[in-house]
Amino acid sequence: MLITIPDVFSPDEVRALRAALDGADWEDGRQTAGVQSAQTKRNHQLPATCDVGRDLGQSILERLSQTPLFLSAALPLRILPPMFNRYETGEAFGVHVDNAIRSNPFNGEPLRTDLSMTLFLSEPDEYDGGELIVEDHYGPQTVKLPAGHMVLYPSTSLHEVRPVTRGARVSSFFWLQSMVRSDMQRSILFDLDQTIQTLADGLGADNDHVRRLTGIYHNMIRQWTEV
């Protein structure tokens, strides 16, 4: 399940984020890559524990905690602190799959990577190339979103960032462990939740059918969650 979360940040908010990022000290992105990924990774990242990254990452997490579409799609249990990368001309990240287990850089807590996220912080016309390509059941999906929009996709997916040929592609990337391990089950729950919300808008939350479907949703949550 690949889902776009629009307007996580407004254009003015993105400009403030970028002002802080553009003045930060970036390092070679291969320092945080696994053995296999390091062979195909060419970009720059903020150090995981730097003050700028930590503060901006906290702002992202606070915003997502108030974003219903994200919560419905991800059912997050734990989220790694957001990181930040920058691809300039000639830089790319070849086809790879994310590590299954990652550690929180601040406390060492391990996390199973169920879902990967990219929050775009450059407008599409600021750079050429740099598309995120995600393999799913329907073939490769090309993602290049407006600044402030985010994409959420299974960490089991093969994916890549195509070479940037002009400008700079700046984004935040991070992972989460969901309360529901199975992507198929999360998809079912997401579709059901979105349907309930649509019906509630039209019929009212106190409608008998809406209440019954809501009960089914929560019973499925009880059946499938790992907490």
Residue pair 168/86 in contact (Cβ under 8 Å)? The answer is yes
Domain carrying residue 211: 183-224
Half-sphere exposure for 118 (CA within 13 Å, toward CB): 27
Predicted local distance difference test score (pLDDT) of residue 51: 94
Q: What is the pLDDT of residues 8-60, one digit of tens each?
A: 999 999 999 999 999 899 998 876 655 566 678 899 999 988 999 999 999 99
pTM for the model: 0.93
Averaged pLDDT, 194-206 = 95
Q: Is the domain of 146 the same as that of 34?
A: yes
Q: Is the domain of 34 the same as that of 107?
A: yes
Q: What is the pLDDT of residues 114-158, one digit of tens each?
A: 999 999 999 999 999 999 999 988 889 999 999 999 999 999 999
Cα gap 53→170, rounded to integer Å: 13
Q: Is the domain of 110 the same as that of 216?
A: no
Number of domains in the chain: 2
Reference 57, options 69, 68, 47; nearest CA is 47
Q: Is the domain of 45 the same as that of 91?
A: yes
Q: Is the domain of 169 the same as that of 206?
A: no
Q: What percent of the chain has pLDDT over 90?
A: 89
Q: What is the pLDDT of residues 57-68, one digit of tens each?
A: 999 999 999 999
Q: Is the domain of 196 the same as that of 170?
A: no
Q: Is the domain of 206 the same as that of 102?
A: no
Quote the crossing angle between the two packed helices 183-203 and 208-224, to the nearest 10°: 160
Q: Is the domain of 135 the same as that of 213?
A: no
Q: Is the domain of 12 the same as that of 35?
A: yes
Q: Is the domain of 213 the same as that of 171?
A: no
Reference 176, options 25, 52, 67; nearest CA is 67
Q: Which pair of tokens denotes residue 206?
A: 């106190």
CATH of the domain at 216: 4.10.860
CATH of the domain at 86: 2.60.120.620
Q: Is the domain of 144 the same as that of 84?
A: yes
Mean pLDDT of the chain: 94
Residue 220 φ/ψ, nearest 5 degrees: -70, -40
Q: What's the 3-state SS for the chain?
A: CCEEECCCCCHHHHHHHHHHHHCCCCEEHHHHCCCCHHHCEECEECCCCCHHHHHHHHHHHHHHCCCHHHHHHHCEEEECCCEEEEECCCCEEEEECCCCEEECCCCCCEEECCEEEEEECCCHHHEEECCEEEEECCEEEEECCCCCCEEEEECCCCEEECCEEEECEEEEEEEEEECCCCHHHHHHHHHHHHHHHHHHHHHCCCCHHHHHHHHHHHHHHHHHCCC
Q: Is the domain of 100 the same as that of 131?
A: yes
Cα gap 188→183, rounded to integer Å: 9
